[in-house]
Chain A
């Protein structure tokens, strides 16, 4: 971020803070720092982003105040029931926060409820006043900041949004090219990995800026449905590309250009679509519309191949078809957005989410935040003169919710921002504030401190420090019309945080160790357990009735296998490989990529398994397929007991044996004189299934190879 932008943003926040305090003090409102909090927390890079956050904060505040008033009305005289339901409410907010698009709303809803409940105690009249005060102060802060951001150097998200859209389209084109080269055996794996990471980051930025641009840019608001459809399509396209990349390793030495005669035309058409899409995103009309192209396999050349090679080619063809359909839909979508014509073709199907299943990681976050609240409550009830009083519980809940949402963060990460900001705020409170006599002087101090904090910690990486700095400054100074100065305010706040950190540190160890490498191993075990259950579910006795519990279990394992690679990727960034000799961060990243490949192949297997298979083939090969299936299931079970089992050769030998056996039986079954009994569709479906089985096996062998390269002994050792 350059200095001019940093200065402008810091100036806007500082000015809004000063005006907010001026109005709140002028109106004689108590606790004006609540309005200051709204300014500090809603100041973001663009007006759209700030406004989005402000709306969520306001809505969350209102919902939180209602929840707090209900709790006080029902349980004001029963303290145990009161904390039970209060912790349940915060737990519920923490759970929903982890999976909601409106996570900030749920975060604020939980926190405001605790703040009002703990601030008012059993006094319902005070609770109502506090609730109203909180709502009006938050509203004031949001209103003032919004007006300042709108009138002084307004920053629209449009320019950033356009830049990100262009960049994302270009990266996706490069990703396509890199995957295509890889398929032809000429690719560079490292470059592809780098492009993939870049694409993920750009897509996250695109998602963020789309929300903001929808608010502050009329053109984006007008085409919001088309943009959302585009968002869904590019996400699906990335997943399909990833699956395609995973299948490329199985092609080995096949001559693709001979097997797919129209592969070159396919490549040219795809390239053209990407170029035209980028042109439309730059607001230039397309030169031509996309032409549907179906990759065709040369039947004569196919005859010389083994059945497994045919199966691999069937999988590749289905991937290419899917990419073709998706890029056509993306093209139509951009056409619609740019006003170059309505979406002509059918939009490719985007998979929908299934039934509700409990997320164990979010549930763990709930257990932690509830435990933190109860520990703080016990400390409050049973320890007399606890520094900070009720605020201990409020601050513990704040930290608990942050850690519930982002369990990778260590408690120690908060220590220095809190300690340093408490120290500086205390200095200002003790030595500077008593010298001020008028609002002019106070306003100047507020402006200067806010400007300095916002300017010094403007980088997005330092957002935590900026928020803690502003928060501690506003809390400790406790500016009000009847200002009083007491050393104990600063001393008690300083002493309160060790108590809060101790509570949070205890809860962080329960129910699982907070160490990233331990969490990584635990998630790996869960991944393979769910993989095993998935395989077992696929080979269920068809005569057995499917109960609701079975459906739920299937949905649970499905979700686990789909989401765990992403969660493992998040944990992988926090693993300190310096403390784990024999492991590099690249190895950990590679392990995560292997898991993602297993997920994709399992999903393919599920789709292929659901297609109708000819009974004649099923009868001929059922024993072989079953023994193969059981072998894969056994592999998952072995890895669920020890995810570090890097027995690549053992896996490979076992699978090769079964594959050779199956290939021989398959040849017998398909080369029978009455071969005509199989239709093209039967063969396609069967080869897809075979390809999916093979994909899962290859992915497991690849995982075992990656796991074998890591020295797992330090991972299992205890550490502080």
Chain B
């Protein structure tokens, strides 16, 4: 079952779920990019900056949908 969309309260400050999902999405994309560099798999991509952008979007949607709820 998907989580119910809700805002995040940190020290009484309410954060929108999209912001939290984007932060985690970007961190996950950075981690993936580093891993791909280390195992030299990034050479199979035509243009890595665009792939990084795509990874950030994909992770944000996945985290937002299945972990946070947006």
Could you list which residues of chain A lie within 8 angstroms of chain B, going by C-beta atoms?
A: 487, 491, 495, 505, 509, 579, 714, 717-720
Contacts and interface: CB of A to CB of B under 8 A. Distances in A.
Given A491-B13, A509-B49, A720 B43 contact: no
7 tightest Cβ-Cβ pairs between the two chains A and B: A717-B43, A720-B33, A720-B48, A509-B49, A719-B42, A718-B48, A718-B43
B65 to A, nearest CB: 21
B62 to A, nearest CB: 19
Contact of A718 (B13, B19, B34, B47): B47
Contacts of B44: 718
24 contacts: A487-B13, A491-B13, A505-B49, A509-B49, A579-B37, A714-B40, A717-B40, A717-B42, A718-B42, A718-B43, A718-B44, A718-B45, A718-B46, A718-B47, A718-B48, A719-B37, A719-B42, A719-B48, A720-B33, A720-B36, A720-B37, A720-B42, A720-B49, A720-B52
Given A509-B49, A579-B37, A719-B48, 18 more contacts: A495-B19, A505-B49, A714-B40, A717-B40, A717-B43, A718-B42, A718-B44, A718-B46, A719-B42, A719-B43, A720-B33, A720-B34, A720-B36, A720-B37, A720-B42, A720-B48, A720-B49, A720-B51
Nearest to B35: A720
Nearest to A487: B13
Nearest to A412: B30
A491 B15 CA distance: 10
Contacts of B52: 720
Contacts of A718: 42-48
Contacts of A719: 37, 42-43, 48
Contacts of A579: 37
A717 B42 CA distance: 8
Interface of B: 13, 19, 33-34, 36-37, 40, 42-49, 51-52
B47 to A, nearest CB: 7
Nearest to B50: A509
Nearest to A515: B48
A509 B46 CA distance: 14
A717 B34 CA distance: 15
Nearest to A513: B49
Contacts of B34: 720
Contacts of B13: 487, 491
Contacts of B36: 720
Nearest to A508: B49
Contacts of B43: 717-719
Contacts of A714: 40
A717 B47 CA distance: 11
Contacts of A495: 19
B55 to A, nearest CB: 9
B33 to A, nearest CB: 4
Nearest to A714: B40
B27 to A, nearest CB: 12
A376 B4 CA distance: 35
A281 B52 CA distance: 57
Contacts of B45: 718
Nearest to B23: A498
A43 to B, nearest CB: 35
Nearest to A713: B43
A365 B18 CA distance: 34
A509 B49 CA distance: 8
A264 B39 CA distance: 59
A635 B42 CA distance: 33
